[in-house]
C-alpha cells in the first residue's frame, strides 16, 4: 500500500512545527498511545492529566494499562502547577500539558514543576496549532506532542491525529512501536471519511457551515453517552493515516495561514463584543501568542444560555460537560476520575460556555451570542 501522501504530510508538518519528526494516525488518541508507549509508559505507571479533558486522552492512557491522575486547573483551564508539585517525586511517569483552547497556561512554572517531580512532558496541542510561547512554537517544550484534526479542531481532516517528537532517539522509539503495533488505515474507513469530507465541502460552498456546526454541537451536547470501551491495546489498535486523509491534511496545512488569520480576526471581534457588553475577557499569558480555537466565557446560568442559543441555531458551546468529557456518573470511575477530586475544574465546567472562532462567522452572529450571555 502506498504511503506517499502520509510521508509527505508528516514531513511538511514536522517542518511547520519545527520538530525532529512527525507521524500521522487515523486518530489523535492512537498517536498519544504510541507516544506514551515510546516514552516507556507501562502497566501501573501514573500519567498526570488536566481535569478539563476528553475521553480520548483518558483512553490512550488506559490502553497503555497506566493510571490517569487528574490535576486541577488554573484560571486558564490548564493544569495548576502546584497540583503537580503536590505529587510525590517519581510518582508520575509523564504529565500531559494541555494547552486549552490554544492557551498554554503557566507554561514555565508547569515545566519546572514537572522537572522537580521527575515527570516527562507531553504537550497536548489538539487546540493550539500555530500558538507559541516567547516566540517558540508550542509542541517544542516537552519530549513530544500530539495534535488532533477531528471536526472542530484548528483545521480538520474529519478524523486524524499527529504526534511530534523533539529528539532523534524518541523518533526511533516511536517508529519501533509503529512497526510492532500499528496497522494501515482500512480502505472502508478511508472511503467513508472521504464521503464525509465531500459532503462538508458542498455544505461549506453553500455557506451552510455555521448551521452544520450548530447541528453538530447540538447533537453532541444532547443526550447521554455510555462508555463501552474495554481499553485494550491490541495489534492494530493504532492505525496510520490513510492516503486520502493525508492528502487532505497536506492541503489543510498549506491553507493554515488563511485559517489562522480568520480565527485571529474572529477572536478580536468576539473580544470587541464582550467589551461592549461589559463582560470579562478570558485571561491570556503575556508570553503567549495565541490563536484561539474557541473563546470561553464564565456565566451563571449555563443550561439556560445554551438552550437559548440552540433555539436561535447559534453555535454557543456548552461542552465540556464533565472533567472527562463526555463521561458522567459511574463512567467517570472507569477512567479513574472521582467526582469532587478537582473542585475548581468542576466549578468552571458548570459555568463555562464558549464561542467559535472558525470560518463562516461574522460580527452579527457574535453579537447575538454575546447578547444571550449578557441578558442572563
Q: What is the pLDDT of residues 305-329, one digit of tens each?
A: 999 999 999 999 998 999 999 999 8
Region 221-227: what's the mean pLDDT? 52
Taking CA atoms, 134 is separated from 55, 124, 251, in Å, by: 31, 18, 28
Residue identified by cell 486547573 is 73
The tens digit of pLDDT for each residue in 230-240 reads 677 776 789 99
Residue identified by cell 468529557 is 325
> What is the distance, to the nearest Å, from the Cα of residue 163 to the centroid of all Cα atoms in its chain?
13
Cβ contacts of 152 within 8 Å, gap of 6 or more: 213, 216
**289 in Cβ contact with 312 (< 8 Å):** no
Region 42-46: what's the mean pLDDT? 97
Does the pLDDT value for residue 212 go beyond 60?
Answer: no
- Residue 165 in 3-state DSSP? strand
Largest CA distance in the chain: 57
Instruction: Supply the CATH classification number for the domain 4-181.
Output: 3.40.640.10
pLDDT band at 29 (very low <50, low <70, confident <90, very high): very high
Does the pLDDT value for residue 169 go beyond 60?
Answer: yes
pLDDT of residue 166: 98
Cβ contacts of 84 within 8 Å, gap of 6 or more: 48, 71, 92, 95, 110, 113, 114, 116, 117, 119
Any alpha helices (H) in the chain, and if so which ranges? 4-17, 28-38, 55-63, 81-85, 107-117, 168-181, 187-205, 209-221, 243-254, 256-276, 302-311, 330-334, 343-350, 363-374
Taking CA atoms, 187 is separated from 51, 157, 245, in Å, by: 36, 16, 11
Cβ contacts of 291 within 8 Å, gap of 6 or more: 102, 128, 129, 130, 131, 154, 260, 263, 264, 267
pLDDT of residue 216: 52
Span of 93-97, 149-153, 270-274 with lowest mean pLDDT = 149-153
Any alpha helices (H) in 86-186, and if so which ranges? 107-117, 168-181
**159 in Cβ contact with 246 (< 8 Å):** no
Q: Do domains 4-181 and 256-374 have the same CATH topology?
A: no
Does the pLDDT value for residue 210 go beyond 60?
Answer: no
pLDDT of residue 211: 54
pLDDT of residue 2: 80
Does the pLDDT value for residue 133 go beyond 70?
Answer: yes
- Residue 356 in 3-state DSSP? strand
Whether domain 256-374 has CATH 3.90.1150.10: the reply is: yes
Does the pLDDT value for residue 217 go beyond 80?
Answer: no
User: Going by DSSP bridges, is the β-strand pair 288-289/132-133 parallel, antiparallel, or unpaired?
Assistant: antiparallel
Average pLDDT, the chain: 92
pLDDT of residue 228: 64
pLDDT of residue 161: 97
Does the pLDDT value for residue 197 go beyond 90?
Answer: no
Selection from 286, 357, 343 nearest residue 105 by Cα: 286
Does the pLDDT value for residue 198 go beyond 80?
Answer: no
| Alpha carbons 201 and 206: distance in angstroms, whole number | 9
Domains of the chain by residue range? 4-181, 256-374
Cβ contacts of 85 within 8 Å, gap of 6 or more: 113, 116, 117
> What is the distance, to the nearest Å, from the Cα of residue 148 to the centroid of all Cα atoms in its chain?
6
Q: What is the pTM of this model?
A: 0.93
Region 28-33: what's the mean pLDDT? 97
pLDDT of residue 97: 98
Taking CA atoms, 99 is separated from 115, 156, 285, 365, in Å, by: 18, 18, 12, 26
Amino acid at each position: 500500500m502506498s504511503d506517499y501522501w502520509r510521508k509527505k504530510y508528516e514531513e511538511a508538518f514536522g517542518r511547520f512545527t519545527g520538530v525532529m519528526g512527525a507521524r500521522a494516525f487515523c486518530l489523535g488518541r492512537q498517536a498519544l498511545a504510541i507516544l506514551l508507549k515510546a516514552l516507556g509508559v507501562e502497566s501501573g505507571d501514573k500519567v498526570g492529566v488536566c481535569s478539563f479533558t476528553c475521553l480520548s486522552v483518558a483512553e490512550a492512557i488506559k490502553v497503555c494499562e497506566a493510571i490517569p491522575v487528574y490535576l486541577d486547573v488554573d484560571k486558564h483551564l490548564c493544569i495548576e502547577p502546584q497540583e503537580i508539585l503536590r505529587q510525590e517525586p517519581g510518582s508520575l511517569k509523564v504529565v500531559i500539558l494541555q494547552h486549552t483552547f490554544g492557551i498554554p497556561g503557566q507554561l514555565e512554572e508547569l515545566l519546572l514543576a514537572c522537572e522537580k517531580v521527575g515527570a516527562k512532558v507531553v504537550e497536548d496541542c489538539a487546540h493550539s496549532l500555530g500558538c507559541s510561547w516567547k516566540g517558540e512554537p508550542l509542541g517544542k517544550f516537552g519530549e513530544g506532542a500530539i495534535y488532533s484534526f477531528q471536526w472542530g479542531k484548528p483545521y480538520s481532516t474529519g478524523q486524524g491525529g499527529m504526534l511530534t517528537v523533539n529528539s532523534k532517539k524518541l523518533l526511533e522509539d516511536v517508529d519501533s512501536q509503529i512497526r510492532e503495533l500499528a496497522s494501515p488505515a482500512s480502505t472502508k474507513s478511508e472511503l467513508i471519511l472521504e464521503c464525509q469530507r465531500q459532503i462538508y465541502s458542498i455544505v461549506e460552498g453553500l455557506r451552510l457551515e455555521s448551521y452544520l456546526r450548530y447541528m453538530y454541537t447540538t447533537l453532541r451536547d444532547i443526550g447521554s453517552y455510555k462508555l463501552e470501551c474495554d481499553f485494550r491495546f491490541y495489534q492494530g489498535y493504532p492505525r496510520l493515516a490513510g492516503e486520502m486523509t493525508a492528502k487532505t491534511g497536506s492541503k489543510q496545512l498549506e491553507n493554515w495561514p488563511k485559517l489562522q488569520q480568520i480565527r485571529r480576526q474572529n477572536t478580536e471581534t468576539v473580544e470587541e463584543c464582550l467589551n461592549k457588553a461589559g463582560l470579562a475577557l478570558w485571561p491570556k499569558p503575556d508570553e503567549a501568542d495565541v490563536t484561539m480555537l474557541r473563546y470561553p466565557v464564565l456565566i451563571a446560568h449555563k443550561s439556560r444560555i445554551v438552550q437559548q442559543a440552540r433555539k436561535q441555531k447559534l453555535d454557543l458551546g456548552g461542552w465540556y460537560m464533565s472533567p472527562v468529557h463526555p463521561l458522567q456518573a459511574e463512567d467517570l470511575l472507569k477512567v479513574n476520575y472521582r467526582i469532587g477530586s478537582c473542585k475548581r475544574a468542576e466549578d468552571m465546567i458548570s459555568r463555562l460556555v464558549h464561542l467559535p472562532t472558525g470560518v463562516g462567522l461574522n460580527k452579527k452572529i457574535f453579537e447575538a451570542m454575546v447578547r444571550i450571555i449578557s441578558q442572563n
